[in-house]
Structure 1
Amino acid sequence: MNLLLKEIRHNPLLWLLAFVPVVFAAHKLTPEAHTLLFVLSVLAIVPLAVLLSHATESVAVKTGDAVGGLLNATLGNLTELIIALAALRAGQYALVKASIAGAIVTNSLFMLGAAFLLGGLKHHVQEYNRGNARLQAGLLFLATIALLMPSAVSGADSTAGSAVTDKLSVGLSVLLIAAYGLGLLFTLKTHREFFGGADHADPGEVPWPMGLALTTLAGVTILVALVSEVFIESVQQAAVAFGMTPAFVGFVVVALVGAAAEMASAFAGARKNRLDLSVGIALGSSAQIALFVAPVLVLLSYVIGPAPMNLQFWPGAVIMMLIATMTVSLVTNSGRSAWFVGVLVLLVYLIFAMTLYLLPPRVL
């Protein structure tokens, strides 16, 4: 606990933790002040993301960057899953699908590109495990093909009703979950020797004890989930005040805030020349959302939702996910990175963001 208090005292960014109780109090006292709650929730999530980053790095020192990246992606996506479940219970399926597509695109383009840029500004050339990046890109491509099918069937045959799309979505969800489980077995068990990263850790770093790191991970994840619920409740109304469209909010704002914890870890790892951790977080998070979170939400909609949810996305969303997957496959093929590679990836993301901001789709 002393190490945690010392970290808070010496990191001015963590002083923003004072906004965590403030956002809960404001939500209780003035639940209709959506713009204020939006700003407070963002200010509260930032320091929580920093704490989660430090705790995850400490765990990664003990377990290796491959497991550390998977752990960070899982905990980060747990927050997004909780947010999506709340929207699912309310029947806000458009918001659920927008957040899924936005998270996949944001994690694979913005998070990866920014990590390449930040790491490249400090290190001339960085290397990472090409095999792990190519596997994650392959899993993303598989998921994109699966998400394309319901939209393609519906567009090609107008007689294919919602019943057919729902059945297809359930079958695809089972296949995607099975593929994700087999991918974990392949990378962490049967062929784990091919996916280990090089040790680039700073020898001057003193990681937290495992008990403190795991306790912090659990506690901060719960707090991030609670603050994120306040954020989701206020973001739609606050978006109107800031002139943002629903499409931009779903694909960009919600995805960026939901992935704040993962981004903090990915960026810190890149600056410390631990690019295997950064790549593992960015691509692992995208693959986990596409192969696990989205299918689980489809299956859970039959239990907690007012009606079944399918995997039929707005065509523009599928196109963006496909382009994002192709971009990731292209830039990670060499296993080496420099700052300009990150710039190129970020520009692809900015093209998407600008398009959504100026020309939102009619249907998400």
Structure 2
Amino acid sequence: MVIGGIKHQEQRFNSRSAGVGSALLFISVGGVFAPTLFSKAYGKMICGECITVGQNFSESYICQNCQSQMMGSNSTAFYSEVQPLVYTVCILLLAAYIIGLIFTLKTHSHIYDIHISDCHVPGHHHSAVVHWSRWRAMVILVGSTLLMSACADLATEHITPILTETSVSQYFIGVTVLAMIPELPEIINGIQFALLNNLSLSIEIGSCIAVQVCMLQIPILVLFSVFYPTGFTLIFSDLHLWASMFSVILMNYIFMDGKCDYFQGTVLLFVYFILLATYFFAPSPAGC
């Protein structure tokens, strides 16, 4: 949005298609963080010394040094209550993703039809020309995916010295290096489409990344952990919860009118920098 807004004073995009992506993002956030909210709401309260006040049936307690504790992955309550919720949520997320695919690709694909003349600068006429065959495009897509997966794997293996020899928060490494490297092709493509004034496709690329992670990759990872335990419990910290919710709400608010400029993109960028600063100064999670 920033780069496209600098080149084009004001850009318009398909608000209906963006609304579909926004709805899927809300479902994703609600589903992914449901186990976290559940474990917080029904966790335990651990207190120090307690004093009994009152008599008979009206007894109450005054306690000191109380703190709320979430349901841990080693507790009995986690396996009996939280884990079934995790499996249920993953099934619902997969079902929502499939319904979203049917809606966007089959029953309501017309809302994604955008005239080529609307996606470029006025006065410049372009024609749609197919340069690649379907098989060539599929081979290049699969090859690029495998190469980026290898790059992400190399980055993960060589990130350990940074974590052990420096005091950089693991949260910060996770939301920058580990999150950005696998998504570099999508980010570059989004910038290129924004420069071509095709902001609708640029926004779709950005929102689909988050939707696919929440509705496809996370359920697959949970299913994989059933056969090969990885310690992935789908319970996140408060920082992850509020950062995700705030980002989705702000993005939907900015995208409501179907048009944007470099100022709105700058606002989102500064919010991103604020979240990065929060993650940078956050202490690393215990046990990692």
TM-score (structure 2 length as normaliser): 0.79
Q: CA deviation at 1:243?
A: 5.2
Residue 109 (structure 2) aligned to one of 179, 192, 209: 192
Q: Which runs of 5+ in 1 are unaligned?
A: 1-115
2:145 corresponds to: 221
Q: Which has the higher strand share?
A: 2
Instruction: Output one character per residue of 1:243-299: Cα deviation in whole Å (capped at 9) or x when no partner.
Output: 532110012221111211110111111011111110110011111111111112111
CA contact (8 A) 1:147 1:318 kept: no
- Residues 212 and 243 of structure 1, relative CA distance in 2, 3 Å threshold: farther
- Residues 230 and 196 of structure 1, relative CA distance in 2, 3 Å threshold: same
TM-score (structure 1 length as normaliser): 0.64
Distance 1:357 1:324 in 2: 17
Distance 1:230 1:162 in 2: 34
Residue 39 (structure 2) aligned to one of 148, 151, 154: 154
Larger mean Cα displacement after TM superposition, 337-346 or 243-252: 243-252
Distance 2:164 2:259 in 1: 42
1:142 corresponds to: 27
Q: Which has the higher helix share?
A: 1
Matching residue's letter, 1:254: L
- Residues 207 and 216 of structure 1, relative CA distance in 2, 3 Å threshold: same
1:298 corresponds to: 222
Matching residue's letter, 1:191: H
- Residues 315 and 183 of structure 1, relative CA distance in 2, 3 Å threshold: same
List aligned pairs for 1:228-307, cutoff 5 A: 228-240=152-164, 244-306=168-230
CA contact (8 A) 1:128 1:197 kept: no
Matching residue's letter, 1:220: S
Matching residue's letter, 2:5: G
List aligned pairs for 1:96-115, cutoff 5 A: none
- Between the aligned residues of both structures, percent identity stands at 25
Q: Which runs of 5+ in 2 are unaligned?
A: 45-70, 72-76
List aligned pairs for 1:1-364, cutoff 5 A: 116-158=1-43, 161-163=77-79, 164-199=81-116, 200=119, 203=126, 208-210=131-133, 211-240=135-164, 244-306=168-230, 309-360=232-283, 362=285
Distance 2:41 2:132 in 1: 56
- CA RMSD in angstroms, aligned pairs only: 2.2
Q: CA deviation at 1:139?
A: 1.1
Q: CA deviation at 1:220?
A: 2.1
Instruction: Output one character per residue of 1:46-100: Cα deviation in whole Å (capped at 9) or x when no partner.
Output: xxxxxxxxxxxxxxxxxxxxxxxxxxxxxxxxxxxxxxxxxxxxxxxxxxxxxxx
Matching residue's letter, 1:185: I
CA contact (8 A) 2:170 2:284 kept: no
Q: CA deviation at 1:138?
A: 1.3
